[in-house]
Structure 1
């Protein structure tokens, strides 16, 4: 900040708020979560009845108690009435007008507590039931018979004419925007309170200068603003003192189209904020997330099933030692650069990366500099809160004698996240970094790069494992270095993100099966230690998983269940086709084939409409679990589900889940589809009896020898993979194509050896890949194309989140008219 900007911020923080907004905001998040578990209050008969109860019962009771306390202790407001009251108060001007017109004064919430705070409401219930004998305090609003409420309202002496149905519909999407874990953090909310004061200060200055600007808050500011309005008396007093008027909260405009009122208002607010305070208006974790995902069900979950307690001594999750990691969201912008040496100007931009690449961010990205390009670019990404962010200032120039550009590194700098996150002390930084000049860069002054960084509080990250199938052994195969004895059947290996094998699984006939003529099945696991365990057994009721801790079964001829499998035991988890809830593809993402995914959704009293707990990516063979308790069940579920899918047919299980029988795959099904997830074949064998009938990619692998590790294609194969791999040897690790092939892959990989790591194409090829790669050896890392042909290509897949620039202009559904 410049001195004048620092003074402006200091003046903004002098605005007095008579409510502890940090405490109120946390309570509001708790309340909104409770309402979201009771979504019948968002619309329909339940909302209409709640509005009637609010007008006929709650407001008169509140008015009587506020005038003369009916009893010692607080009133406990019923959840449905509190939701309507919440929506009414978020139009502070109308709420004040209605209260004064109906009751002669503003009805405050002093002496009132929410039902979600866990305070006993027995006294309130007794008074309520005495005053309103025909309207019980605890009303069943789920199983209501729809009725015309106009007759009930006609009998009321007092009620607001404000359209509370529309108000509730406008407010119902708000919780999704503020429901992420980092929002409930004290530091995040404290910074939001400071930004709320800055927001009010801008409106104050506009009023004083006669500037008309439709100010639009970010969601952290809006959460605090809502919290303030929930205390109507304090809100009126504080705003009259700060602004000379009660600030209206206009939530009626939700059109985010470019050039419309919200877009123009947010752009204007952003510009005014940055000019006034000298800091960025955007904030990590506070921007518009997009619309809420589609619900799984319209009816809340209810079950009389007595779930088993999670066995704390169970060592299954300890047996797969996955590290606990944390992840955070980061927003990054390069604002300006100073002291560029003469003759080095060119086209300036910055490459940024991490000193310690992690599972979420292992790329090198390019970003423009605002003062140079006059075009704002803000990078949005996730990473672990470790290491440093590295910045390289680049200059690109075009020679007069050549159309080729030459690129030079002018200097570099780093930003240590540990300084701010261990412990968490600040969530946004804007500073000038002095660059260390590169060799050949000479200047009289040090080059300064102004950087703005915002990050969220680190939260626990998901667990991800990969499932790959090994080659069945035959006399024509080379022996692979596997830690097991050669078997007729293949093993499915489960590996962590760093490639470490965790466990290997195999489907076997169950010895001493009770069903004569229909042998049972079991899932046997080989631990990293060499120990063998039985992880699941097929019984007449389904699959008994992890020593009867879980039961996996299919819906019993359920025509409207919507799910394919159900996992019951410690919790109730239903598995749906496609990406659902939090995994639903966003409007700016690639949808892909939804048949490639299964979503595990937990249903409980706390999550009656379902919470996504795991995603099974069938094509990539990845299992992602949000919590550790779901990792092992998710692995077994993916393995069994894929085997069922192989037997019944991949498309059949998506389209006709009710026709499936729960049993293990037979010998024939194991031979027809080789991939452990029921998709394309990635195996190397010359066995004629092993074929791929999935209709997806497979070209077979010929007579040569090689090693394919966690591969999606052919590694070091002999005479054909897809389009064919010729004679020669190579190595392919975590690949989607052909690595180190001899004489052809797809379009052809020529003679030569190479190595391809985490690749989507062909790496280290000799004489051609697809369109052709020339002779030579090399490596391709994190690439989406063909690399390592005499050179090195780093991260051709990664780029700037271009959509974020759009999100910056579509932040909030609830703007305010200053």
Structure 2
């Protein structure tokens, strides 16, 4: 019988064999180039994103691509027609990109039409800033009736011979483009461009090819589904078709097809089954986890605010760290990292040991982001896959405690026994970043008085994202006339203390600044005066400065660095307020873009929220940078440069809203009397409101677990507390989502619920609900069914076979659909 040590050695040899696969492309540099190109396409959404222009383009592109670019490329490959490389136009490059992502079809088309594969060599992407003058001159010489840079009006008069081309693929390029257009959203996070992340992705891509080879050798027919890090590298390889065909044929014996036709992530469908099988084969072959932090499905992309890109006349310039923000307030600079963690196995247990085992995980020195304990089962003992998900600072140590739980009738104090402890240093891997995925045996220190011949060991698998600037968590608390610091908006009509002010504090409790709304009087005539409002700030030094003045019909912030203006109700762009300065930020009603509700309908009305969206040359379609909760007064801010302007703006808006008597904006924008708000803003009879802010300098950090390209359906009915950020893969019956949750609702939950008629979600949870849970449940109640009042915290679970839902797999089947959820592994 094969011993555990022999099995692990065999698995390591398999991994080393996979790493010997030769790739003749610099995949690291090419992957970065692909990300740059996809970002450029996303800034020109007429290339794919609906509307008349994109529909016209998609209909015309097939002919233009075949009539102009491929023939020009073929001429250049036969005999260079340019002294340097050709610079491919952006629209043609996008169509060419999608064509190459069907490697078998691209090869057959090229061979049939031009006698050989037309490769990427001696071609430069238009997004690299290379001089395209020479290529444009050649293009105009060959195609005088077609513009080099696509122009909708100019292309109305297409030469008739384009429609009668002899050399033309009948591959449906329009559908190919539509399948590929969602891909960029999944790979657009900053860590995807990190060298260490990409190097690990390349190694995993080789492992992916090796798994497919092993399956073919064993005549196993399995639809292999990649995670998004692997998928990015797979795409990159295919974009160099000659190298791809050669490398893959040498490694596997034939060219590997890339099937992106499937996008159904439902339970039991092709992607679900494929991802489950890929996970199982990977972990059995290599002894490594297939899931990876930052490489899993993000959910569907947000709905766009506009199809017309914003043209800013503001010269964008970065705010230096020594700018006004830093002069007025001092913010702690803390890094944060996403962690996925699984306890894979345990060995060297005492022979007489009885009872169930689990592991308690916490941070040896808790930080403000991770200060509790998580309970995890052990895969080898329970047969159930639990993956903890949490965020913490990338320093200190994770602390593990192996606990034995007796099932006897002993008193509660004697039911649990600690068998050993161990620690795991985060700084060894993240300061500086050296490895982002680790799986190893960790030796436990035995409990006092216990001696054994061999130390007990835990096999721990952990994956990290690249550390980023942590969210700034700020809160505004009224210093006077307020008994409860968490009631941000006083009741309408309640008299406020004339000298009350608001303290802005960090999550640690450190005070940043004190704010106050006050009246200033300016003599206009002898017998009259005009009352204006000001927002003042009192710094920790005691110095007072003016942060904002109401001038005319708008607020002037931070010594004219920013202007906050209420837009007229006739505004057709959909936004209500505008903050302008060195950047343009518009406030829209409701949760938009990254803040868009995805997985569960909230009981809260959309009119309770306002999203701040930055428009720039880099983000012409808008980037969500802050979310204002008008009812609670809380604000989430993504960018550090916006923290102080957001504090001031939210402070001002809360004052305006209170004066107008709004508890939230009306759902009908036409009923919002903006002119009335401007007039009310001049009134000095009310005190400013209290608000709470949560600011982040880098992206939305709500969940960031991203397990799974697949099985994403919808959430079912919620309990009284509602549901927050839930991904649920519904099976045949049951309510799905967080159906049946108690009063507390569910927070940050990803779940593939049980089959059959179970309640799904975190069914059966008590009043506390479930927080941050990922679970592939059993049949029946599924979810984290049966949890008590405290609910469940930040876990991913794969449930029982048979009646269980199985993995919640799914994926991109090679590409566009993405990867599936965690696979169940219970025997």
Confirm or deny a common fold (TM above 0.5).
yes
Alpha-carbon deviation of 1:665?
A: 4.2
Q: Secondary structure at the match of 1:2?
A: helix
Equivalent residue for 2:795?
801
Equivalent residue for 2:520?
510
Alpha-carbon deviation of 1:527?
A: 1.2
Partners of 2:24 and 2:339 lie apart in 1 by 33
Q: 1:202 aligns with which of 194, 211, 214?
A: 211
Q: Deviations over 1:437-474 (max 9, x none)?
A: 22365544322111111112212233231122232399
Partners of 1:192 and 1:364 lie apart in 2 by 31
Mapping 1:516-665, distance limit 5 Å: 519-587=531-599, 592-648=604-660, 649-652=662-665, 655-656=668-669, 659-661=673-675, 662=678, 665=681
Alpha-carbon deviation of 1:140?
A: 3.1
Alpha-carbon deviation of 1:808?
A: 7.1
Equivalent residue for 1:71?
82
Equivalent residue for 2:508?
498
Relative to structure 1, is the Cα distance of residues 292 and 258 closer, same or farther in structure 2, using a 3 angstrom cutoff? same
Q: Secondary structure at the match of 1:380?
A: strand
Relative to structure 1, is the Cα distance of residues 590 and 616 closer, same or farther in structure 2, using a 3 angstrom cutoff? same
Asked if 1:165 is matched to 2:169, the reply is no
Alpha-carbon deviation of 1:232?
A: 0.6
Alpha-carbon deviation of 1:150?
A: 12
Asked if 1:294 is matched to 2:303, the reply is yes
Equivalent residue for 1:700?
none
Relative to structure 1, is the Cα distance of residues 594 and 643 closer, same or farther in structure 2, using a 3 angstrom cutoff? same
Partners of 1:283 and 1:293 lie apart in 2 by 23
Alpha-carbon deviation of 1:784?
A: 6.7
Q: 1:283 aligns with which of 282, 292, 308?
A: 292
Alpha-carbon deviation of 1:403?
A: 8.9
Equivalent residue for 1:770?
none
Structure of greater Rg: 1
Partners of 1:514 and 1:813 lie apart in 2 by 68
Partners of 2:547 and 2:613 lie apart in 1 by 22
Q: 2:344 aligns with which of 335, 338, 343?
A: 335
2:480–2:497 contact (8 Å) kept in structure 1: no
Relative to structure 1, is the Cα distance of residues 40 and 88 closer, same or farther in structure 2, using a 3 angstrom cutoff? same
Asked if 1:186 is matched to 2:195, the reply is yes
- When structure 1 is superposed on structure 2, of 650-659 and 331-340 the one drifting more is 650-659
Asked if 1:382 is matched to 2:375, the reply is no
Equivalent residue for 2:686?
670
Q: Once superposed, what is the RMSD of the aligned Cα atoms?
A: 3.1
1:463–1:627 contact (8 Å) kept in structure 2: no
Alpha-carbon deviation of 1:615?
A: 2.4
Equivalent residue for 1:750?
none
Partners of 1:278 and 1:645 lie apart in 2 by 58
> How many pairs align?
692
Equivalent residue for 2:3?
none
Q: 2:13 aligns with which of 2, 7, 10?
A: 7
- When structure 1 is superposed on structure 2, of 182-191 and 584-593 the one drifting more is 584-593
1:389–1:416 contact (8 Å) kept in structure 2: yes
Q: Deviations over 1:254-291 (max 9, x none)?
A: 11111111111111111111111111111111111111
Alpha-carbon deviation of 1:423?
A: 1.9
Mapping 1:718-757, distance limit 5 Å: none
Alpha-carbon deviation of 1:113?
A: 0.7
1:467–1:495 contact (8 Å) kept in structure 2: yes
Structure 1 portions without partners, runs of 5+? 475-485, 679-759, 761-782, 786-793
Q: Deviations over 1:775-813 (max 9, x none)?
A: xxxxxxxx979xxxxxxxx99576023489999744632
Partners of 2:27 and 2:181 lie apart in 1 by 21
Alpha-carbon deviation of 1:644?
A: 1.3
Partners of 1:357 and 1:622 lie apart in 2 by 25
Equivalent residue for 2:429?
420
Partners of 1:196 and 1:312 lie apart in 2 by 39
Asked if 1:213 is matched to 2:227, the reply is no
Relative to structure 1, is the Cα distance of residues 803 and 326 closer, same or farther in structure 2, using a 3 angstrom cutoff? farther
Mapping 1:55-134, distance limit 5 Å: 55-134=66-145
Partners of 1:405 and 1:261 lie apart in 2 by 48
Q: Secondary structure at the match of 1:340?
A: coil
1:17–1:238 contact (8 Å) kept in structure 2: yes
Equivalent residue for 2:361?
352
Asked if 1:16 is matched to 2:22, the reply is yes
Equivalent residue for 1:688?
none
Mapping 1:474-489, distance limit 5 Å: 488-489=498-499
Q: Deviations over 1:60-110 (max 9, x none)?
A: 111111111112111111111111000000000101111112222111111
Alpha-carbon deviation of 1:339?
A: 2.7
Partners of 1:372 and 1:629 lie apart in 2 by 49
Partners of 1:416 and 1:144 lie apart in 2 by 62
Partners of 1:655 and 1:415 lie apart in 2 by 54
Relative to structure 1, is the Cα distance of residues 204 and 232 closer, same or farther in structure 2, using a 3 angstrom cutoff? same
- When structure 1 is superposed on structure 2, of 80-89 and 307-316 the one drifting more is 307-316
Alpha-carbon deviation of 1:362?
A: 1.9
Q: 2:151 aligns with which of 140, 144, 149?
A: 140
Partners of 1:458 and 1:118 lie apart in 2 by 30
Partners of 1:517 and 1:663 lie apart in 2 by 16
Q: Secondary structure at the match of 2:547?
A: strand
Relative to structure 1, is the Cα distance of residues 795 and 319 closer, same or farther in structure 2, using a 3 angstrom cutoff? farther
Q: Secondary structure at the match of 2:385?
A: coil
Relative to structure 1, is the Cα distance of residues 518 and 290 closer, same or farther in structure 2, using a 3 angstrom cutoff? same
Structure with more relative contact order (C-alpha pairs < 8 Å, separation 6 or more): 2
Partners of 1:807 and 1:34 lie apart in 2 by 39
2:11–2:287 contact (8 Å) kept in structure 1: yes
Asked if 1:248 is matched to 2:257, the reply is yes
